[in-house]
Structure 1
Amino acid sequence: MKFPNLFKPIRIKNTIINNRIIATPAGPYNDKAIGGAGVIVTGSVNASRKRASYSKPDDPYIFDKYEREGTKERVVIAQQAGAKASLEIIHAGQYARVDDYAIGPVGFTRKDGTEVRAMDEAMMEEVTSDWAETAKKAKEMGFDMVMLHFAHGWLPAQFLSPLFNNRTDEYGGSFENRAKFPKMIVDKVREAVGPDFVIDMRISASECVEGSIEFKDVLRFLKLIEDKIDMVNISAGLDINHEGNVHMAPTIFKEHMPNVDWAAEVKRHVDIVVSVVGAIMSPEEAESIIAQDKADFIALGRPLIADPFWPQKAKEGRDDDIVPCLRCQYCYHISTERKNVGCSVNPRYTRPHLVPLELSLAKKQKRVVIIGGGPGGMKAALVAAERGHEVILLEKEGELGGALRYSAYEALKVDLYNYMKYLINQINKSAIIVRTNIEATPEYVKRLAPDALIIAIGAKPFTPPIKGVDKSHVFQALDVYDKLDALTNDVVIIGGGSTGCELGVELARKEKKVTILEGNDKLATNGNHLYRVALRQTMVKEPTLDWKLNSFCKEVKNDGVVYLENGKEKFIPASTVIISAGMRANKSLLESFYGIVPDTFVVGDANQPRNVLDATREAYFVARNL
């Protein structure tokens, strides 16, 4: 077996788990339940009926009479392929959605005007009883274990962390005092479920914001309760606090496996099973964690949204068939303010009613010609081929990848690069006819006699009408990736979108002095909310990187750039100027391919500049419906 440690069974009390992979509550669990994980966390349950939900005030309690059948369905679904069913128990505390008031360690008024009342001992007794009763009901319903959510700034963490808890009584101040109420919860849960039922816990090793709990206190708490729990899942960050959120679900600006060292330190100090979550992207990474005894389990969230069958493919040694997660954050409602939640690489996520697990063969096989070998064109080709069509993919460059090819030059884009490699590998395994170095023309396409034509020609970089932009030291962003080390040390980037900002970070890390000019009042307006938070956190750490908002380049001179900042003319010395002003669809080229065949479709940037999420979705549906 290629990953023997990852698929080694483990016994926890009377429960035998057949591998070391835990599917976190992120996203729907139906597909994950048959995808091969050893434990399926089937979403959350509010610990209390009132004032516990982070979703809505009238969130139903899943163990009440008319909710029980649906709750039992969670168990049945999770266990159908041999996995163990877990249930996360959560209490939002001061962040709860309420009609009246919320509760937490201290009293205050939230920004939304909601009153938060400091919990007294009667409230604490009531809430600990709720946790215990909920865990007991989970056991009675047939769940194999529960996971107590003590991470990410929810109620137990609000008491543990000095970021939230500044009480002056016996439940605040010292570590011993801050730990009292969380320990009460654990003690009461264990008493309710008995000695043999498995209790897991998720906790943040670091909340990753100033003034929060220190890791040494997290470790002290775990040692305090290790006789009452069986497993601990080491996470990081906060949820509602977005400065910490980008460390809870790490973005492209954070390294892979950021929580592993914390997990290893926990494992050295406690005698319970340790799991770790956070940007564990590949089976190789997961195997190394287990093999090096840094954790006993790895927990996967977004990687199983991208590909719910990640575990099964790893077990079969087909890891090159795993669809890589991009860590783009679009699967997270906070990022998009619920406007465009989806997975950039898995169109079935959020749309299972439209995207089946397996595609059926088309009733009539067609010859499908696809122009453009970028992410949209490759995805369309793969879907069309899966439906049994004859597919001819035309690419003007010498290799596939489109704009994804530039991801090879930036460390920040390693996940995007891995996705490009995945697509190309799947193309190579398929019956798709690939013709590279082909500049498609209407005449060439006509000679191929297609039944359907999909145009995925991408877009071209936009050059703004700036005086001096034709000088020899001015480059388009896409033209500098293969010469980043050779660029001069003083660089001005015109355009602070995501491409310009990421390029600025990469050049600053190569010790170049970089200034970004952006006409808007914020950077990366094309990125989602959490991306922008993490981008800012990253950029401020680079001492040679500067940016100027509401600033427009007026002229490029031989020795620098003249620009207007809030209407005032200024000058920056620069010997390299990079244009990163976005992309524009090539409408004239696009229109030239119309009229060849009635079934003509456009996907991705060829229509208008898109991200991978939109290009993938468009490509999937166009090809599926041929």
Structure 2
Amino acid sequence: MSTPSPAFAHLFEPLQIRGKRLKNRIMSSGHDTSMPTDNQVNERLIAYHRARAEGGAGLIVLQVAGVHDSARYTSHVLMATDDACIDGYRRLAQACHAHGTLVLSQLFHPGREIMESSDGLLAVAYSASAVPNERFRVMPRALDQAMIDEIVAGYAAAARRLHQAGLDGVEVVASHGYLPAQFLNPRVNRRDDGYNGDLEQRLRFVREVIAAIRASTDAQFIVGLRISADERDPEGLTEDESLAAVQALQAGLDYVHIVAGTSASLGGAVHIVPPMAIEPAYLAREAATFKARLDIPLFVTGRINQPQEAELILARGQADVCGMTRALICDPQMPNKTEAGHAEDVRACIACNQACIGHFHKGLPISCIQHPETGRELVFGALQPSLKPRRVMVAGGGPAGMKAAAVAAQRGHRVTLYEAGAQLGGQVLLAQLLPRRSEFGGASTNLQREMERAGVRVVRNTRVDLALVQRECPDVVIVATGAQPYWPPFERGGELQVVDAWQVLRGEVQPGRSVVVVDWRCDWIGPGIAEQLTRAGHQVRLAVNGTHCGENLPLYVRDQLAGELHKLGIAITPYARLYGCDDNTVYLQHTASGEPMLLEDVDTLVLCQGHQPLDSLGAELQGQVEFHRIGDCLAPRTAEEAIYEGLKVAWQL
């Protein structure tokens, strides 16, 4: 075994929990993957977790396992309500144990937090009391004693099955406003029986669950509890309430795992998977408070992106284990790289939320925009060296071109990447300039490091054309020349200043006092431009060609952004199609009614109308050489598609 870098001595210090040994303090915390089929563990899910175990994670906590039929909060949730689940869990545990990684599973009942059903019908939801959920607009039915007993027995039976499958323990999910938290919360629990009143009465349900789990397993089986340190909602659990609860429960637990937020409201749900606008490692203070008041290990999860952040939390004594889930989604090898002294090679998560939780909310298997191999381990799990190395020319140094170049070189091809400008990164260079989006620049930094390690030759300030291709005689050309802003045809009269988002971000124009931003994409560009100009002192109105601002964004990114725009007082007009402009008026058309909408006293119109391909090179190369288009020059989309296509084409060479 290698000696860990002194810079990460705390991160790689083992930890004993109920006789089990965590080899390090890095945890992949429970997160839904949308990978299961028929509510059971499958080969795709096993391959996903095996990759993180191979990468060196000390602890993997599996996604929620439903303990009762009424716990089906999505159509693809894992269920531990039948012995048929045991074999899949056993194979998953064995795959991770082979690499020295401990495996727990979350035990789960959402209560009133029901997102969807498997057949489109609204489910009957249950809670401590008939208090509605704001986010999903669910009015639950209050649990009666018989059903409470049935659910408690379900926790016990699920734990027995997981124990029989060879897992090391379970984590009871009392976080994010789910059923145990609904009993704990005096503003949700309005019962008039022995389950409500003082703290001890509100703890009764959780105590019964923990006792039932203990009775159905053995003395070596780990039982932990996840809870929100603060639900970040006016009606949610406060820090004092959560702390008092875990202090009272700790005698029956092996650890407490804190997070933040609640599923019950849009503002609280942002903290389930906090986006890049939220400060990294932002729960360190709460973790320190909880750890100082507990006698058992304290785990913390919340935007801990990099090993340096985790090491600092551990060194300060603020927690015993750090959940680094998205860091491991982005780079499964993060623990191994760090332990070997190569932390600079870690592909850092940028918390864009696009392909991880963003995919989940669409009911799709999770992945990562920077590492599209994630979730596709059965296809891209083991890099295959090329049997016939080729000379590869890549035209374009944006995300698509860089990923294609790195993977092609890793496979043994001789790769040269040409970039027309002085800097690599493509549109990432612009994305990072928007408010609270600076971390997006990490996507370029990470890809450049991958190319460097793979031995890609990079030539800057050189635009690829047919003449260059004919001089260099590559075997294959990968065209990744990107896109440019799209200016749609619209009626223009008068002298109103009209510019596009790229010109604003590059500082090429000086907008006037009163600005209208027209947003066709309904992503983060239009709102970002609106926020940036507002903070610079302009009066800004945002017109979006959608039902709401950020319609195409991952939900937590959208909601956090909507909150910021509201605080800034930016007026938003939905259902707005750009029609035209004159000296000081922007003319819009309502996309549903077709009626005109006018925005007057305008000095500058900023176009955020999407992009169009830059594909002149592809036309030149037709019939001249083997070539492949990837990314925006094929069709303007996002960084996720660009990087995936870079991986895919390089894999096929």
TM-score by length of 1: 0.90
The size of the alignment, in residue pairs, is: 620
Q: 1:472 to 1:440 in 2, by over 3 A?
A: farther
Query: Are 1:259 and 2:317 counterparts?
Result: no
Aligned partner of 1:580 among 589, 608, 625: 608
Q: 1:141 to 1:494 in 2, by over 3 A?
A: closer
Distance 1:202 1:261 in 2: 17
Q: Which SS does the other structure have where 1:365 is aligned?
A: coil
1:528 offset after TM fit, Å? 3.9
CA deviations 1:488-517 (Å, max 9, x no partner) are 664332326321112222333445432222
Aligned partner of 1:445 among 469, 478, 488: 469
Distance 2:373 2:237 in 1: 38
Query: Are 1:72 and 2:72 counterparts?
Result: no
* Partner residue in 1 for 2:19: 14
Query: Are 1:84 and 2:102 counterparts?
Result: yes
Q: CA RMSD in A?
A: 3.2
1:309 offset after TM fit, Å? 1.3
Alignment of 1:54-203 (within 5 A): 54-56=73-75, 61=80, 64=83, 66-95=84-113, 102-107=125-130, 117-162=141-186, 164-172=188-196, 175-193=199-217, 197-203=221-227
Q: 1:624 to 1:298 in 2, by over 3 A?
A: same
Q: In the alignment, is the contact (CA less than 8 A) between 1:94 and 1:155 conserved in 2?
A: yes
Q: 1:400 to 1:131 in 2, by over 3 A?
A: same
Q: In the alignment, is the contact (CA less than 8 A) between 1:38 and 1:83 conserved in 2?
A: yes
* Partner residue in 2 for 1:342: 367
1:218 offset after TM fit, Å? 0.9
Distance 2:493 2:13 in 1: 60
1:322 offset after TM fit, Å? 1.9
Q: In the alignment, is the contact (CA less than 8 A) between 1:207 and 1:238 conserved in 2?
A: yes
Aligned partner of 2:49 among 29, 35, 59: 29
Q: In the alignment, is the contact (CA less than 8 A) between 1:485 and 1:510 conserved in 2?
A: no
Opposite residue 622 of structure 2, the aligned amino acid is Y
Alignment of 1:250-329 (within 5 A): 250-327=274-351, 328-329=353-354
1:449 offset after TM fit, Å? 0.9
1:474 offset after TM fit, Å? 4.1
* Partner residue in 2 for 1:516: 542
Distance 1:471 1:443 in 2: 42
Distance 2:399 2:111 in 1: 43
CA deviations 1:22-65 (Å, max 9, x no partner) are 112334312111111111223343334x333334599653761x
* Partner residue in 1 for 2:560: 534
TM-score by length of 2: 0.86
* Partner residue in 2 for 1:428: 452
* Partner residue in 1 for 2:70: 51
Distance 1:152 1:113 in 2: 16
1:191 offset after TM fit, Å? 4.8
Q: In the alignment, is the contact (CA less than 8 A) between 1:385 and 1:430 conserved in 2?
A: yes
Q: Mean alpha-carbon deviation: is it higher for 472-481 or for 92-101?
A: 92-101
Q: Mean alpha-carbon deviation: is it higher for 483-492 or for 546-555?
A: 483-492
Q: In the alignment, is the contact (CA less than 8 A) between 1:62 and 1:71 conserved in 2?
A: no
Q: In the alignment, is the contact (CA less than 8 A) between 1:369 and 1:391 conserved in 2?
A: yes
Q: In the alignment, is the contact (CA less than 8 A) between 1:397 and 1:437 conserved in 2?
A: yes
Alignment of 1:227-626 (within 5 A): 227-239=251-263, 243-327=267-351, 328-332=353-357, 336-338=361-363, 341-357=366-382, 359-466=383-490, 474-483=498-507, 490-495=514-519, 497-498=522-523, 499-543=525-569, 545-552=570-577, 560-564=584-588, 566=590, 567-568=595-596, 570-597=598-625, 599-626=626-653
Q: In the alignment, is the contact (CA less than 8 A) between 1:152 and 1:207 conserved in 2?
A: yes
CA deviations 1:232-284 (Å, max 9, x no partner) are 11112234755533220112332222322222221122222111112111111
Q: Which SS does the other structure have where 2:379 is aligned?
A: coil
Opposite residue 286 of structure 2, the aligned amino acid is W
* Partner residue in 1 for 2:39: none
Q: In the alignment, is the contact (CA less than 8 A) between 2:13 and 2:25 conserved in 1?
A: yes
Q: 1:572 to 1:589 in 2, by over 3 A?
A: farther
1:452 offset after TM fit, Å? 0.9
CA deviations 1:461-480 (Å, max 9, x no partner) are 11234566996954321223
Structure 1 unmatched runs, 5+: none
Distance 1:244 1:225 in 2: 24
Q: 1:59 to 1:577 in 2, by over 3 A?
A: closer
Distance 2:373 2:88 in 1: 22
CA deviations 1:183-225 (Å, max 9, x no partner) are 3222443455466543211111233334222221111111111
Q: In the alignment, is the contact (CA less than 8 A) between 2:81 and 2:154 conserved in 1?
A: no
1:457 offset after TM fit, Å? 0.5
Q: In the alignment, is the contact (CA less than 8 A) between 1:10 and 1:19 conserved in 2?
A: yes
Distance 1:103 1:418 in 2: 43
* Partner residue in 2 for 1:41: 61
Distance 1:118 1:415 in 2: 44
CA deviations 1:97-132 (Å, max 9, x no partner) are 599855321358999999954222333233323323
Q: Which SS does the other structure have where 1:345 is aligned?
A: coil
